Chain A
Amino acid sequence: MDVAIVGIGIHPFGRTPARTGLQQGAYAARLALQDAGVEWRDIQFAFGGSASAGSADALVNELGLTGIPFINVANGCATGGSSLISAYNAIKSGQYDIGMVTGFDKHDRGAFNADPKELGIGEWYGEVGMMMTTQFFAMKIQKYMHDYSISHDTLAKVAEKAFINGSKNPNAWRTEPITVDEIINSIMVNNPLTKFMFCSPAEGGVALILCRADHAKRYTDAPVYLKGATMKSRRFGSFEVFAPSQALQQVDGPTVDASKAAFEMAGVDPKDMAVLQLQDTEVGAEIMHMAENGFCEDGEQEALIQQGATHIGGSMPVNTDGGCLANGEPIGASGLRQVYENVLQLRGQAGGHQVPGDPKLAYTHVYGAPGISAVTILQR
């Protein structure tokens, strides 16, 4: 039994002081229900996640108490991907016909301050100032630039493209283009990454309605099918965030593993993908994730990005809605935003950020602490 996405809803990302995170989730949920032409009482189950805005299942207080199983999911930045896979399996198994996946969040300003204890790491690690996701991303791209000759200008071009795409997306947070000079010369955060090369914690909500593929046409003329949905955690030897040490023998990370599994599951190749949403919590992540997901060889990003290949209209458009860089990262909602964007793209409804050429296949990838990745492949 295939699984289809038949309804999508989003609450604009950024800062919305007038609404709680939960209210932003409910806003997105009602739009998704409306998009599928169903009511909340028609929904048989839900999976949802929120890191800082309360329990996702509290959404029933906003949407109505119908008695459905509503399961909370928590997988760091990969929460949305994990929720989606859980819902996919619930329908695939034949247990349910239609359900909802949702994610929302509302974070304080400034970098996340994670607690080492929650990840089984000694308190000393945080006390000395190493419990910082930003340091990991900086050190990973520092090593990658050294090994594969990626330039600082290319780092900045990733952010420049994100803000251009954000300016075309009415639901984005950052909607003003920023020049390469401004990006390179903004305040240094963790060398080699400057302020405008990082995304920020933010707010927002997304909801999706999923159903059995053979029921999809009841709800929409333009169903989008979930052909691949995989999630992997790190193997011994991969270089990951919040790691007090790293094995001498390095192996591929969870992104490589999740990506390969998703392509195998969907029976398609990287070159078949018309539009890509790749985790870009900072510019280095987008660059490295292009190769880790199989879209180029290590080092080819320098030429591809300089040539504009990753722009809307390029040969491999990446993060067409502005990505995390222009939308910010509400942890619970972020992975589902990518899926929302790809459904828009495959329906041809992405407006100013629509990729040309009638796309048929689209790809999403999220990465989260302490070393997990989730991938989806969508097909029109």
Chain B
Amino acid sequence: MSIQIPIAEGLFSWPAAKPALLASRCKRCGIAAFPVASSCMACSWQDVEIEELPTRGTLWTWTVQQFMPKKPYRSDETHETFTPYGVGYLELPGGVRVEGRLTENDPEKLYIGMQMDVVFEPFRTEDNGDEVINFFFRPVQ
């Protein structure tokens, strides 16, 4: 039976009723980092705690990837089936700006400052049928 697996362990809570991106926050300077790191990139402190990031934020900047990347890109697509995809940084209040793929790829529908939700959806299917889950940013509906 096929199951859903996260694209990387520790990137977001999974499985979870309400999954969220995971950050580490420095216990000395209070800076949050994504993905979780064992030390603080701001002050080098090694005492950090893990927390869930907000699931709604503001688009800080964006682009659309119009050509299929070479390896290490690993999706189910071929050059024939490749669909351009949006990429952006989402500012999560009180946390950090996280880079992620957007569910929207129409440049006419993307603008700096728009509200987006963090969602968790299948990205590719492994040979054994497992669905690999990644995080995406989706315009608030």
Bound: A378/B60 CA distance, A:
38
Q: How many A-B residue pairs have CB under 8 A?
A: 115
Enumerate B72-119 residues with CB–CB distance to A below 8 Å.
Answer: 72-75, 85, 87-89, 91, 95-101, 107, 112
Please, what's the 1-or-0 string for A108-146, where 1 marks a CB less than 8 Å from any CB in chain B? 001101011000001110111111100100111011001
B-side interface size class:
35 or more
Q: Would A122 and B62 count as touching, CB distance under 8 A?
A: no
Q: Would B73 and A191 count as touching, CB distance under 8 A?
A: no
Q: Would A244 and B98 count as touching, CB distance under 8 A?
A: yes
Shortest beta-carbon distance from B119 to chain A in Å: 14
Residues in B neighbouring A122, C-beta threshold 8 A: 8, 11, 35
Q: Would B97 and A146 count as touching, CB distance under 8 A?
A: no
Residues in A neighbouring B75, C-beta threshold 8 A: 127-129
Bound: A140/B63 CA distance, A:
9
Q: Would A135 and B34 count as touching, CB distance under 8 A?
A: no
Contact of B91 among A111, A237, A248 (CB under 8 A): A248
Q: Would A129 and B85 count as touching, CB distance under 8 A?
A: yes
Q: Would A189 and B60 count as touching, CB distance under 8 A?
A: no
Bound: A247/B8 CA distance, A:
22
Bound: A247/B64 CA distance, A:
22
Q: Would A131 and B66 count as touching, CB distance under 8 A?
A: no
Q: Would A248 and B97 count as touching, CB distance under 8 A?
A: yes
Please, which residue of chain B has its CB at the minimum distance from the CB of A144? B61
Tell whether B33 is near chain A: CB-to-CB under 8 Å. Answer: yes
Tell whether A246 is near chain B: CB-to-CB under 8 Å. Answer: yes
Could you tell me how many residues of chain A have their Cβ less than 8 Å away from some Cβ of chain B? Answer: 37
Q: Would A190 and B65 count as touching, CB distance under 8 A?
A: yes
Q: Would B96 and A138 count as touching, CB distance under 8 A?
A: no
Q: Knowing A113-B70, A113-B72 are in contact, say whether A124-B134 is a contact too (CB < 8 A).
A: yes
Residues in A neighbouring B71, C-beta threshold 8 A: 113, 126
Q: Would B63 and A126 count as touching, CB distance under 8 A?
A: no
Please, what's the 1-or-0 string for B16-38, where 1 marks a CB less than 8 Å from any CB in chain A? 00000000000000010111000
Residues in A neighbouring B66, C-beta threshold 8 A: 187-191
Tell whether A148 is near chain B: CB-to-CB under 8 Å. Answer: no
Residues in B neighbouring A191, C-beta threshold 8 A: 63-64, 66, 107
Please, which residue of chain B has its CB at the minimum distance from the CB of A245? B34
Shortest beta-carbon distance from A205 to chain B in Å: 25
Tell whether A303 is near chain B: CB-to-CB under 8 Å. Answer: no
Residues in A neighbouring B61, C-beta threshold 8 A: 139-140, 142-143, 146
- In the assembled complex, 9 residue pairs joining A and B whose CB atoms fall closer than 8 Å, in A order, are A123-B8, A130-B100, A131-B73, A139-B89, A142-B61, A245-B98, A246-B60, A247-B42, A247-B97
Chain A residues with a Cβ under 8 A of chain B: 110-111, 113, 115-116, 122-124, 126-132, 135, 138-140, 142-143, 146, 187-193, 236-237, 243-248
Chain B residues with a Cβ under 8 A of chain A: 7-8, 11, 31, 33-35, 41-42, 60-67, 69-75, 85, 87-89, 91, 95-101, 107, 112, 123, 134
